[in-house]
């Protein structure tokens, strides 16, 4: 990576059972991923309200990623299926409003996929960094 | 406003190595609500915990933030600490600065910065935490064991011996599972039937055990301590209570050409059958796909010969609903299908068999009464080639097999080879192997005996192709140690097929809301510390459904699962998870969105009277959450348009406060 | 086909009132000018005779009023509903917001509603009279001759792309049963989808920056019947009163679109009432279109008990990325 | 423009003392960071206290203007700002602006008269300022009677000051009451309006009422039946206020703005307002 | 008086904009208009008036009042006021010009609102007479003459010309700025235009609307009238009327936590909103009827009572055009006006 590359702020919502555990496993395996990623633990990806995503952007996040159990593996049976529909609609709506689609992502990461977690985060950070600062969904009051 | 204490753990050098813990503690000191902040080498140690307790007392703390390892590791520990200090345990939040910070970031400046942010988020959350009190629910003191193999039997026996009622649900007409099909067991070579069948009988006769054979679980509701399970007793067209297992019907059944699944199709059974002599329950079962009477109403011989009058062609599937406090999954394994392995000619030649088929061929109760005869022509094979790792340890890109090691193949192949040489010393026996894995008590000695005492020829290398040529099977392989190609004209080839979870496991997992790994093995709650529990409370794992296992391992895990179940059932009340959804009825529209998405049916509605500020009374439909049923996923909170539904412990404002703190 | 006029409505209303079948009538009241019609509750025949009006300015969807007004009325309330309004009422029944038993729905035909802004644009200020139905005669202060306008030319956008002339809920119908139409209501959404992200951003920036946060869209929306709106609730974290900046403008409209997603019947009230003519329905339609494409056709309010795609799922649903990518390949 | 004073921009205040008065009322002492009083005020006036990020709220200044050192606010816990203040500790900075509202006419209408103060619960807070003012300039007023009641003795505000100072004053009669009988309470038991009637004051005095709306209503009725004219009775109103200067429109009732024209109203003034308070 | 060709108006704009920011009613999409800072290419709206009134220029929909930073127990207060300097607004109609007086009486009475005051002092208001009032206009009811629009500079479009006349010192300074683009002229054309306007004013459908029955002291007559129920029954409780109204000035003060501090800002509020008067313990206006009544009572009774009979309505007609359910002050005045309490 280049030295002067933009350091984006990434908020990652991870479900407690799979993705948060996956992130833990990434740690256990000492897998390297950018420190720009800050994880918020939620019981299930379906706990993530579209409002949280918007709030994160308002507060200055440059990218928001939501991670949950693979479809079919939800600890609560079906939560991630709802997440998938909700986020599909939200992301599409943001895209419709002309907000860069690379700033939002939904990924399925199981508790066993520490490597995938790290790789996903590396990729996401890189893509968001390439976009630079979030200008289209920012609240100037929250800028320093 | 809270009075928050922040405790930054060094975790030895695990955290302190890449995070400046002093700086983190210092930085968090000025966060809103924080009145105390410190660091320590091992917060989870007794002295670390004492430090927290002292601080709670000295600084009148109302909330605690521990910057340490993953909450999945020590959240419970610190909640207990808080509890011991007189704080509500849910006033504790963990900032994961080890797994998600110090272990993944190398630079101390970056790591420290991130640790501060994570700590800040935890502080922001604790500021909005409210004391939570878990609800209590009674425990139904009865367990369900799904699967009647050795794992299920052992678990059931242990639970029953502790004095709790146990039901075993077995989909086959008899319990016994795979072990019942085996001949001898490694490494002691005692006969499988001799050690298994007494246990089967024990189970059948145990006053606390009920066996639902030829039955399947059709639905599971409820939650730990209070499961409601619907069991489908498949129609066997024989009244179990009356049938004496005399076998007269079997003898007279004219439908003789039904492949016998117990012998893996190597011989035939009748349309009415008892799987094997020691079957439990020893009652006949009519195969509806084979029986003429059931298919087209012509025959009825069995009914005529049954003196007990047990035959009932009108029998229907029966659904039984039972309540359980705990459920043990013991669904076991199956060898994989070898359809995709054309190179081994399994589907082209009858003399290419699987190891399980080999077990039946050498079993005295098998199709050949224990004589080792070629399935194709019934001749004694003179040259036998065993091929290991068929479908095991495949590369991840291979679509045919499994990535994992099936664990038991090395040992049973050694057993087969040894037994063959023992019984038929003139038979040449070759084993193709990648590695021979023998980590078990007396395992390696066993393998060496096969090589050294019995002259089994082990060839390190894989088999590229097996070509049937006339009566022979030309096995083309490589000998890696001697670096040459080998061609063996074999009479019989035995494939050590990989094992995989039983096909019924996946739908069952869905019913149980228990998670599975990518190979459909059930996931344990913790790979090391909670290996016999599923992450779903009240669901336990026994045997090969969790991963490949041999018999001794299976039995020990079965007993371990039983111990966990006994522990659970011996409680009178269960303390629930207080992090459940709750609806603010003043804001609830009663629109039913939440109810629709709740996977547990935890939400119901009631008409409630509201006294309006203008003194009128208005009746409105509002949602109510059953906290004992709610598992706390939070799906309803997003479905709710008005925001009336919120999730305790993960409230909207808490999550948003975390977002704010992270983005600050 | 019999032409249904306000006389028929008045007759029906008086009839049902006198029979005691209903105790109040929800309709539209004549205003100061021909075009400023106000929703109103009538309880006696004289009021109906003098006040009840039905013309091409009766755009207001009366179903929302039932949520609050019905409480004040003993017995059943008659409500006149145009075809698109019946979808809204069905959705309210589905969500238990209105008790079916307390409503007596009289379905009335609709030829499309006129948009006074379009008329004003055509004839200028000073409109003193508008009459006619298919062809409108518009009298103004500044012209001696009344202007003649074709209703089709000044019809509100939602009516130009009318999705249905069919009443999906009624106790009684005045006039004939209509049909669901093959509308082009998604054309505009598609046009925006085809724009580049920069163009889309500029488009919405231009539109939404005019928002004055008067909340008319919310308060007129028949799907927005929350006991406490999140924007009024300090605990929701999104409470706000003013379009303080570009972010707040977007936030409000995105969240609102989401809250009604799967519940919005596309009645178009939001755009009708917007004093700034922001095409808010294009946000809702986008969601409807996406849901239709991804999860199968669904029309909220088509029947009582319909299941919103967002409270449903299948294991085979596509991933969010697929949806956006697919549109790129389409475009 | 910055050379204008702007009342909406608050001053800094520091909480220098927190006194727990009752289970849900605390009294806060506030000074500027320099240790002075933030501004001068008159009895009955209010100040806007705020906690940035939490909100701003109007409170009556309970200390007397005669106190030159600090201001005090007795605050009942109800709502965001008050919840926050109740958890605040000594040394906490807050913001303060004021004084707002019309004070009690202590130097005009009240001067030379006998005074009857009637308070219920936290309603003593606004009256404390004027009571202490009257006590300070004792010679300017006639006889002073104070009727004060609360749910229980634990809910009596400023109990220590009442007992140790007010009751010891010559020519000040304090009549305390609690709603329900309780152990250890030897004083009067009963509701304030009834107690006022029982005490049977003559009408040669000015009455000042403060308390919950229901108490005010019944006490006012009681006073009228005792022969008091509405012009003799003063009370204070509590409404939602934001700006404190009669501009934001929130506390507008009739042609009055409670924050600017009130919160002190004479009963006859109140009567002329539409019934919306 | 000075004039120039109306078609050259953009030259005037360009000239003024060189000296100070200039706001004009500019066309937005959909034939609507809003006050906008003029820049090259922006065209003057040819229609009557903007959706939102120009009060925005003095009392913006939202503005920051003060900022705070907190650390530990300490608070830092930052005054964020800044003097943006003089500006001009062109094209203000007579009604809106009058509305400034209504607002002034609120914001400039002690304690004066420095945010508003500064903008008022900095502004040069150039009004424009209404050649073609709308059917919704009723400024005459409140004694406003659309032909005599007031402000610092009055302007008329007379024939092909636009004619300017300064009313104040600031106005004269404005005319100096555009001096060389204009020429001195007599008031004949303007007088003719005024006559024309006067004729039209008489013909307006609402020209007979009166304030009889309203004004200070009428609270008792009007407050408990039964008609309020019917008048308010369709009211959705949105804030459209309030936000388009040139004289509505209710506001809310809110704190926004930005993550790196607190911004205290004020924004328009509406007495039509259910939570406007909501307190921790209740609400003194529980129903929409009460809120609806408050708005009109304030405009027609309470405000004039406190302000020498000046009504807080200028008859601009915006609420007539914008209300989603066509409920408005005219309907209220017609229903309740001139009648006694029964």
Q: Which one of A87, A93, A96 would you mutate to disrupt binding with C, by most C Cβ within 10 Å of its Cβ?
A: A96
> E211 in a domain, yes or no?
no
* Identity of the residue in E70, E72, E259 whose CB atom sits nearest the CB atom of B660: E259
Examine the pLDDT at A1 and tell me if it is beyond 50.
no
pTM recorded for the entire structure? 0.81
Chain B residues near residue A73 by CB distance under 8 angstroms:
515-516
Looking at the structure, give the CATH architecture of the domain made up of residues B335-500: 3-Layer(bba) Sandwich (3.50)
Domains of chain C, by residue range, sit at: 6-115+155-173, 117-150, 187-330
The domain defined by B581-648 folds into Alpha-Beta Plaits (3.30.70)
Q: Which residue has the tokens 């639970």?
A: B159
Give dist(CA D16, CA D31) in Å, integer.
7
Question: What is the pLDDT at residue D275?
Answer: 81
Alpha helices of chain C — where are they, by DSSP H? 6-19, 45-51, 63-69, 83-94, 116-123, 157-160, 187-194, 197-208, 216-220, 246-259, 269-273, 281-295, 320-330
**pLDDT of B72 strictly over 50:** yes
* Cis amide bond preceding B281, omega within 30: yes
Bond preceding residue C70 cis, omega within 30 of 0: no
Note the CATH number of domain D115-236: 3.40.50.80
Question: Which residues lie across from B522 on neighbouring strands?
Answer: B516
pLDDT in tens, D57-68: 999 999 999 999
Tell me the pLDDT tens digit for each residue of B546-571. Answer: 999 999 999 999 999 999 999 999 99
Chain C partners (3+ C-beta pairs within 8 A): A, B, E
E43 found inside a domain: yes
Greater confidence, B400 or B313? B313
What's the domain range around E187? 2-203
- For E178-217, give one letter per residue: b (16+ CB within 10 A) or e: beebbeebeeebbeebbebbeebbeebbbeebebebbebe
Question: Each residue of E256-309: pLDDT tens digit?
Answer: 988 889 999 999 999 999 888 887 667 888 889 999 999 999 999 999 999 999
Q: How many Cβ pairs within 8 Å bridge chains A and E?
A: 10
User: Minimal CA–CA distance to B145: which of B550, B552, B569, B541?
Assistant: B541
CATH code of the domain occupying D11-100: 2.40.30.10
- pLDDT surpassing 90 at residue D118: yes
Distance from CA of E50 to the nearest CA of C (A): 10
Percent of chain B at pLDDT > 70 equals 99
Q: Smallest CA–CA separation between B18 and chain E, in Å?
A: 27
> What is the average per-residue pLDDT within B585-614?
88
By DSSP bridging, strand E278-279 and strand E74-79 are unpaired
H helices within E20-167, ranges in order?
94-107, 114-122
Rg (CA), chain B: 31
| Per-residue pLDDT tens listing for chain E (342 residues) | 899 999 999 999 999 999 999 999 998 766 788 999 999 988 899 888 999 999 999 999 999 999 999 888 899 999 999 888 999 999 999 999 999 999 999 999 988 999 999 999 999 999 999 999 999 999 999 999 999 999 999 999 998 999 999 999 999 999 999 989 999 998 899 999 999 999 999 999 999 999 999 998 899 889 999 999 999 999 999 999 999 999 999 999 999 988 889 999 999 999 999 888 887 667 888 889 999 999 999 999 999 999 999 999 999 999 999 999 999 999 999 999 864 343
Label residue D3 by pLDDT band (50, 70, 90).
Answer: low
Confidence of residue D80 (pLDDT cuts 50, 70, 90): confident
pLDDT tens for the 331 residues of chain C, in order = 568 889 999 999 999 999 999 999 999 999 989 999 999 999 999 999 999 999 999 999 999 999 988 888 889 999 999 999 999 999 999 999 999 999 999 999 999 999 999 999 899 889 999 998 889 999 999 988 999 999 999 999 999 999 999 999 999 999 988 999 988 999 999 999 999 999 999 999 999 999 999 999 999 999 999 999 999 988 888 888 888 888 888 999 999 999 999 999 999 999 999 999 999 999 999 999 999 999 999 999 999 999 999 999 988 899 998 877 777 766 5
Contacts of B164-167 with C-beta under 8 Å, sequence gap 24+, read B164/B208, B164/B565, B164/B566, B164/B569, B165/B141, B165/B208, B165/B209, B165/B210, B166/B142, B166/B208, B166/B209, B166/B210, B167/B142, B167/B143, B167/B209, B167/B210, B167/B211, B167/B212, B167/B231, B167/B322, B167/B324
- How many helices (H) and strands (E) chain B has is answered by 17, 34
Mean pLDDT (chain B) is 93
For the purposes of burial, counting CB atoms within 10 Å of the CB of D112, is it exposed (0-12), middle (13-18) or buried (19 or more)? exposed
Q: E196 and E240: one domain?
A: no
Could you tell me if E89 and E126 lie in one domain? yes
Residues B335 and C138: their CA atoms lie apart, in Å, by 84
> In the B/C pair of chains, how many CB contacts fall below 8 A?
57
Q: Is residue E230 part of a domain?
A: yes
Measured between beta carbons, which residues in chain B are less than 8 angstroms from residue A33? Answer: 104
Q: Which residues of E touch B37 (CB under 8 A)?
A: none
**Helix segments in B146-269, DSSP class H:** 150-161, 192-205, 248-252
Decide if pLDDT at B662 tops 50.
Answer: yes
Q: Tally the residues of chain C.
A: 331
In a domain, E213, yes or no: no
In chain A, how many H helices and how many E strands? 4, 4
Neighbours of B131 (CB within 10 A): 12
**Closest among B348, B342, B355 to B384, alpha carbons compared:** B355
In degrees rounded to 5, what are phi and psi of residue E291? -70, -40
What number of residues does chain E have?
342
Give the 3-state secondary structure of residue C276: coil
Q: How far apart are CA C185 and CA C47, in angstroms?
A: 38
**Res. A3: pLDDT tops 70:** no
- Give pLDDT, residue E340: 39
Beta bridge partners of B110: none
Interface mutation target, options C206, C255, C320, chain A, most CBs of A under 10 Å: C320
Count of residues in chain D: 277
- D276 with E112: Cβ contact below 8 A: no
Q: Which residues of D touch B2 (CB under 8 A)?
A: 87
- Cα A133 to Cα A15: distance, rounded to the nearest angstrom: 27
The pLDDT confidence band at residue B612, using thresholds 50, 70 and 90, is confident
Q: Smallest Cα–Cα separation from A36: which of A2, A63, A57, A54?
A: A63
Is beta strand C135-140 parallel, antiparallel or unpaired with respect to D25-31?
Answer: unpaired
Query: Is the confidence at residue B383, as pLDDT, over 60?
Result: yes
Cα torsion through A106, A110, A114, A116, rounded to 10: -50
Distance CA C108, CA C270 (A): 22
SS3 for B331? Answer: coil
Q: What is the pLDDT of residue B579?
A: 94
Nearest to E306 among D10, D79, D255 (CB): D255
- pLDDT, residue C89, reads 96
The CATH fold of domain B159-226+321-332+504-569: FAD/NAD(P)-binding domain (3.50.50)
Distance from CA of B19 to the nearest CA of E (A): 24
Q: What's the structural domain count of chain E?
A: 2
Is the minimum CB–CB distance between E262 and chain A shorter than 8 Å?
A: no
Which residues of C are less than 8 Å from A78 in CB distance?
A: 313
Q: Which of B65, B95, B99 to mutate to test the interface with A (most CBs of A within 10 A)?
A: B99
Measure Cα distances from E211 to B72, E17, E310, E329 in Å: 73, 41, 11, 11
| Region B4-126: CATH code | 3.40.50
Report pLDDT for A76: 83
**φ, ψ at C31 (rounded to 5°):** -115, -160
The first and second tokens of residue B482, run together, are 């001697």
CA separation, residue E179 to residues B274, C112, E4, E92, E175 (Å): 115, 53, 10, 20, 6
DSSP one-letter string for chain D:
-TTS--TTSPEEEEEEEEEEEETTEEEEEEE-TTSS-S----TT-EEEEEETTTEEEEEE--S-TT--S-EEEEEE--SHHHHHHHH--TT-EEEEEEEESBPP-TTTTTTTS-EEEEEEGGGHHHHHHHHHHHHHTGGGS--EEEEEEESSGGG-TTHHHIIIIITTSTTEEEEEEESS--TT--SEES-HHHHHHHHT--SSSEEEEES-HHHHHHHHHHHHHTT--GGGEEEE-----SSSSS-SSTTEETTEEHHHH-BEEEHHHHHTS-S--
| CATH code at A10-142 | 3.40.50
Domain boundary among E203, E235, E256: E203
Same domain, E250 and E114: no
- Domain identity same for E226 and E81: no
Q: What is the mean pLDDT of residues B532-551?
A: 91
Which segments of chain B belong to CATH 3.50.50.60? 159-226+321-332+504-569, 335-500
Closest CA to E99 of E66, E50, E62: E50
Query: Which residues in chain C are closer than 8 Å to A99, comparing Cβ atoms?
Result: 197, 201
Q: What is the largest CA-CA distance in chain D?
A: 62
Minimum-distance CB partner of C276 among E32, E268, E274: E32
Whether the per-residue pLDDT at D1 is higher than 50: the answer is no
A92 neighbors C189 (Cβ within 8 angstroms) = no
Dmax (CA) for chain C in angstroms is 67
- Give ranges for CATH 3.30.70.3270 in chain B: 581-648
* B587 near C CB under 8 A: yes
Domain ranges of chain A: 10-142
Instruction: Give the residue from D34, D24, D58, D88 showing the smallest Cα distance to D239.
Output: D58
Confidence grade of residue D276 (pLDDT, cut at 50, 70, 90): confident
E197 in the same domain as E223: no
Helix or strand (DSSP H, E) at C131? strand C127-131
What is the distance between the alpha carbons of residues E285 and D276, in angstroms, rounded to a whole number? Answer: 7
The sheet with strand B215-223 has its strands ordered as: B215-223, B226-233, B318-324
Rounded Cα gap, residues E165 and E280, in angstroms: 53
Inter-chain residue contact E283 with B32, CB threshold 8 Å: no
In chain B, whose CA is at the least distance from the CA of C223?
Answer: B641
């Amino acid at each position: 990576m280049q030295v002067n590359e933009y350091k984006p702020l990434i908020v990652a919502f991870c479900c407690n059972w799979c993705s948060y555990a996956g992130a833990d496993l990434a740690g256990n395996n000492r897998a390297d991923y950018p420190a720009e990623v800050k994880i918020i633990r939620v019981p299930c990806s379906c706990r993530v309200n579209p409002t949280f995503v918007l709030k994160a952007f308002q507060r200055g996040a440059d990218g928001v990623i939501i991670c949950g159990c693979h479809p079919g593996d939800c600890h609560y049976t079906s939560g991630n299926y709802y997440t998938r529909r909700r986020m599909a609609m939200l992301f599409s709506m943001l895209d419709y409003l002309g907000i860069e689609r690379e700033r939002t992502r939904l990924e399925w990461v199981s508790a066993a996929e520490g490597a995938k977690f790290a790789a996903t985060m590396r990729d996401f950070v890189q893509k968001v960094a390439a976009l630079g600062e979030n200008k289209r969904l920012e609240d100037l009051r929250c800028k320093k | 406003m809270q009075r928050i204490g922040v405790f930054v753990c060094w975790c030895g050098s695990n955290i302190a190595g890449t995070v400046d813990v002093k700086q983190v503690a210092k930085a968090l000191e000025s966060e809103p609500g924080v009145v105390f902040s410190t660091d320590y080498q091992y917060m989870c140690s007794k002295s670390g915990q004492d430090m927290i307790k002292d601080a709670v007392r000295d600084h009148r703390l109302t909330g605690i933030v521990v910057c340490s390892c993953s909450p999945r590791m020590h959240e419970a520990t610190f909640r207990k600490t808080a509890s011991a200090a007189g704080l509500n345990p849910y006033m504790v939040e963990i900032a994961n600065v080890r797994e998600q910070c110090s272990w993944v970031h190398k630079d101390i400046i970056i790591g420290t910065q991130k640790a501060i942010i994570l700590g800040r988020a935890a502080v922001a959350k604790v500021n909005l935490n409210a004391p939570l009190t878990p609800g209590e629910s009674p425990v139904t003191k009865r367990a369900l064991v799904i699967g009647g193999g050795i794992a299920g039997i052992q678990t059931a026996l242990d639970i029953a011996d502790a004095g709790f009622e146990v039901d075993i649900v077995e989909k086959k007409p008899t319990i016994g599972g795979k072990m019942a099909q085996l001949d001898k067991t490694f490494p002691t070579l005692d006969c499988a039937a001799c050690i298994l069948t007494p246990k089967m009988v024990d189970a059948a006769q145990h006053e606390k055990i009920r066996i639902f054979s030829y039955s399947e679980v059709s639905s599971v509701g409820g939650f730990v301590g209070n499961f409601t399970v619907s069991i489908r007793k498949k129609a066997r067209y024989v009244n179990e209570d009356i049938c004496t297992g005399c076998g007269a019907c079997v003898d007279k059944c004219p439908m003789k050409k039904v492949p016998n699944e117990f012998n893996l199709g190597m011989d035939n059974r009748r349309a009415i059958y008892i799987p094997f002599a020691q079957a439990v329950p020893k009652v006949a079962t009519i195969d509806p796909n084979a029986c003429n009477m059931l298919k087209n109403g012509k025959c009825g011989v069995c009914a005529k010969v049954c003196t007990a009058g047990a035959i009932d062609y009108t029998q229907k599937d029966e659904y039984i609903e039972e309540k359980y406090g705990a459920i043990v999954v013991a669904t076991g394994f199956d060898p994989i299908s070898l359809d995709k392995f054309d190179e081994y000619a399994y589907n082209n030649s009858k003399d290419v068999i699987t190891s399980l088929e080999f077990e039946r061929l050498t079993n005295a109760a098998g199709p050949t009464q224990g004589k080792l005869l070629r399935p194709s022509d019934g001749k004694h094979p003179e040259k036998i080639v065993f091929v290991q790792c068929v479908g095991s340890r495949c590369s991840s890109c291979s679509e045919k097999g499994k990535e994992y090691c099936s664990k038991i193949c090395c040992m049973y192949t050694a057993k087969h080879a040894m037994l063959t040489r023992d019984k038929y010393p003139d038979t040449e026996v070759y084993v193709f192997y990648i590695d021979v894995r023998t980590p078990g008590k007396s395992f390696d000695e066993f393998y060496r005996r096969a090589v050294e005492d019995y002259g089994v020829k082990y060839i390190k290398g894989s088999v590229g192709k097996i070509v049937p040529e006339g009566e022979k099977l030309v096995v083309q392989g490589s000998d890696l140690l001697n670096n040459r190609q080998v061609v063996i004209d074999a009479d019989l080839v035995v494939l050590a097929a990989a094992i995989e979870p039983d096909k019924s496991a996946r739908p069952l997992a869905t019913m149980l809301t228990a998670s599975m790994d990518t190979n459909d093995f059930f996931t344990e709650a913790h790979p090391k510390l909670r290996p016999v529990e599923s992450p779903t409370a009240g669901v336990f794992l026994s045997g090969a459904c969790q991963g490949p296992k041999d018999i001794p391992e299976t039995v020990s895990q079965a007993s371990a699962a039983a111990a966990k179940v006994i522990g659970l059932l011996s409680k009178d009340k269960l303390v629930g998870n207080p992090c459940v959804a709750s609806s603010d009825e003043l804001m609830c529209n009663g629109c039913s969105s939440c109810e629709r998405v709740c996977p547990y049916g935890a939400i119901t509605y009631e008409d409630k009277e509201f006294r309006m500020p203008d003194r009128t009374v208005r009746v409105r439909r509002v949602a109510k959450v059953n906290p004992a049923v709610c598992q706390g996923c939070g799906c309803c909170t997003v479905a709710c348009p008005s925001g009336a539904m919120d999730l305790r412990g993960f409230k909207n404002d808490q999550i948003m406060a975390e977002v704010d703190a992270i983005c600050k | 086909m019999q032409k249904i006029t306000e006389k028929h409505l008045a007759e029906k209303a008086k009839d049902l009132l006198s029979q005691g079948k209903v105790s109040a009538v929800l309709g539209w009241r004549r205003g100061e000018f021909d075009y400023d019609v106000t929703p109103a509750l009538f309880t006696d025949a004289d009021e109906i005779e003098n006040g009840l009006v039905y013309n091409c300015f009766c755009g207001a969807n009366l179903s929302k009023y039932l949520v609050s007004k019905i409480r004040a009325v003993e017995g059943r309330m008659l409500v006149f509903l145009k075809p698109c309004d019946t979808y809204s009422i069905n959705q309210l029944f589905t969500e238990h917001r209105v008790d079916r038993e307390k409503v007596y729905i009289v379905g009335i035909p609709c030829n499309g509603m006129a948009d006074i802004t379009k008329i004003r644009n055509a004839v200028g200020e000073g409109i003193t009279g508008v009459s006619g139905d298919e062809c409108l005669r518009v009298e103004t202060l500044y012209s001696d001759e009344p202007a003649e306008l074709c209703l089709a030319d000044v019809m509100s956008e939602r009516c130009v792309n009318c999705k249905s002339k069919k009443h999906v809920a009624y106790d009684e119908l005045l006039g004939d049963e209509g049909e669901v139409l093959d509308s082009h209501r998604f054309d505009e959404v598609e046009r925006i989808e085809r724009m580049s992200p920069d163009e889309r951003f500029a488009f919405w920036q231009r539109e939404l920056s005019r928002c004055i946060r008067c909340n008319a869209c919310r308060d007129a929306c028949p799907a927005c019947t929350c006991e406490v709106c999140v924007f009024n609730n300090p605990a929701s974290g999104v409470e706000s009163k003013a379009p303080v900046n570009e972010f707040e403008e977007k936030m409000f409209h995105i969240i609102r679109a989401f809250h009604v997603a799967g519940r919005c019947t596309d009645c178009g009230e939001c755009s009708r009432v917007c004093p700034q003519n922001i095409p808010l329905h294009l946000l809702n339609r986008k969601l409807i279109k996406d849901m239709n494409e991804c999860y199968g056709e669904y029309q909220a309010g088509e029947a009582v008990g319909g299941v919103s795609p967002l409270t449903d799922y299948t294991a085979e649903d596509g991933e969010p990325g697929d949806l956006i990518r697919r549109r790129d390949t389409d475009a | 423009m910055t050379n204008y004073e702007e009342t909406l921009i608050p001053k800094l205040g520091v909480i220098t003392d927190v006194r727990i008065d009752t289970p849900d009322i605390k009294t806060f002492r506030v000074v500027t960071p320099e240790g002075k009083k933030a501004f001068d005020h008159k009895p009955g006036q209010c100040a806007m206290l705020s906690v940035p990020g939490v909100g701003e709220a109007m409170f009556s200044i309970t200390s007397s203007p005669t106190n030159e050192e600090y201001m005090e606010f007795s605050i009942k816990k109800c709502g965001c700002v008050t919840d926050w203040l109740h958890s605040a500790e000594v040394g906490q900075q807050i913001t303060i602006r004021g004084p707002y509202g019309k004070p009690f006419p202590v130097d005009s209408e009240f001067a030379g008269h006998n005074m009857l103060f009637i308070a219920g619960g936290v309603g003593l807070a606004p009256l404390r300022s004027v009571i202490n003012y009257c006590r300070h300039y004792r010679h300017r007023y006639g006889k002073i009677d104070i009727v004060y009641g609360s749910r229980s003795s634990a809910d009596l505000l400023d109990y220590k000051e009442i007992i140790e100072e007010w009751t010891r004053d010559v020519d000040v009669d304090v009549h305390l009451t609690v709603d329900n009988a309780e152990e250890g309470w030897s004083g009067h038991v009963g509701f304030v309006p009834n107690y006022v009637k029982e005490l049977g004051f003559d009408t040669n005095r000015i009455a000042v009422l403060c308390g919950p709306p229901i108490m005010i209503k019944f006490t006012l009725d009681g006073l009228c039946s005792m022969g008091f004219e509405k012009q003799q009775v003063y009370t204070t109103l509590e409404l939602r206020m934001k700006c404190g200067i009669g501009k934001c429109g929130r506390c507008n009732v009739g042609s009055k703005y409670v924050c600017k024209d009130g919160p002190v109203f004479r009963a006859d003034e109140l009567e002329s307002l539409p019934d919306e308070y | 008086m000075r004039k120039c060709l109306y078609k050259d108006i953009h030259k005037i704009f360009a000239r003024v904009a060189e000296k100070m920011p200039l706001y004009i009613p500019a066309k937005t999409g959909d034939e609507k208009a809003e006050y906008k800072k003029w820049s090259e290419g922006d065209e003057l709206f040819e229609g009557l008036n903007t959706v939102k009134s120009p009060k925005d220029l003095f009392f913006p929909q939202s503005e920051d009042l003060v900022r705070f930073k907190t650390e530990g127990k300490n608070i830092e207060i930052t005054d964020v006021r800044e003097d943006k300097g003089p500006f001009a607004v062109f094209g203000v109609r007579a009604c809106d010009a009058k509305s400034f007086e209504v607002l002034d009486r609120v914001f400039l009475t002690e304690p004066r609102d420095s945010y508003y005051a500064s903008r008022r002092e900095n502004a040069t208001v150039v009004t424009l007479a209404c050649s073609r009032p709308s059917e919704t206009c009723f400024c005459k009811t409140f004694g406003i003459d659309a032909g005599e629009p007031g402000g610092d500079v009055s302007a008329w479009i007379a024939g092909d010309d636009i004619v300017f006349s300064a009313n104040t010192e600031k106005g004269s300074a404005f005319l100096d700025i555009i001096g060389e683009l204009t020429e001195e002229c007599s008031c004949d054309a303007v007088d003719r235009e005024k006559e024309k306007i006067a004729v039209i004013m008489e013909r307006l459908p609402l020209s007979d609307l009166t304030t009889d029955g309203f004004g200070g002291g009428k609270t008792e007559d009007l407050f408990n009238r039964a008609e309020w129920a019917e008048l308010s029954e369709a009211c959705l409780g949105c804030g459209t009327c309030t936000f388009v109204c040139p004289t509505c000035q209710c506001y809310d003060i809110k704190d926004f936590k930005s993550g790196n501090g607190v911004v205290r800002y004020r924004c328009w509020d509406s007495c039509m909103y259910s939570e406007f008067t909501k307190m921790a313990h209740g609400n003194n206006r529980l129903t929409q009827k009460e809120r609806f009544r408050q708005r009109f009572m304030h405009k027609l009774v309470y405000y004039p009572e406190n302000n020498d009979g000046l009504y807080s309505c200028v008859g601009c007609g915006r609420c007539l055009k914008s209300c989603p359910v066509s409920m408005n002050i005219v309907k209220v005045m017609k229903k309740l006006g001139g009648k006694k309490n029964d």
